[in-house]
Amino acid sequence: MTMGMGYILVKCEKDAINKVYKEIEKVTEVKDIYAVNGEYDILAKIVTLSPSEIPRVVLKIRKIPGVHATKTLTVVSLEA
């Protein structure tokens, strides 16, 4: 079984960044989290038991109050 790894960029509602950050930090699959400047407010690295689990984690994060939008970057292998 191959593990899944990805990065989730999160846009927050105004004045909700701290609250959203703290809630994302509680998600078991989140291994690193950063507040960032730019189009998105938060960057979270997730690691799952398999690539098929990534959408479940993304949905969990999208349901957090104050999350406006997300963008998911799934890590893939370039090996043949």
pTM of the model: 0.91
Query: What pLDDT sits at residue 29?
Result: 97
Q: What is the pLDDT of the chain when averaged over all its residues? A: 95
Asked whether 21 and 33 are in contact (CB, 8 A), the reply is: yes
Domains along the chain with CATH numbers: 4-71 (3.30.70.920)
pLDDT tens for the chain, 80 residues long, are: 589 999 999 999 999 999 999 999 999 999 999 999 999 999 999 999 999 999 999 999 999 999 999 999 999 888 76
Give the other-Cβ count within 10 Å of 17's Cβ: 16
CB 12 within 8 A of CB 42: yes
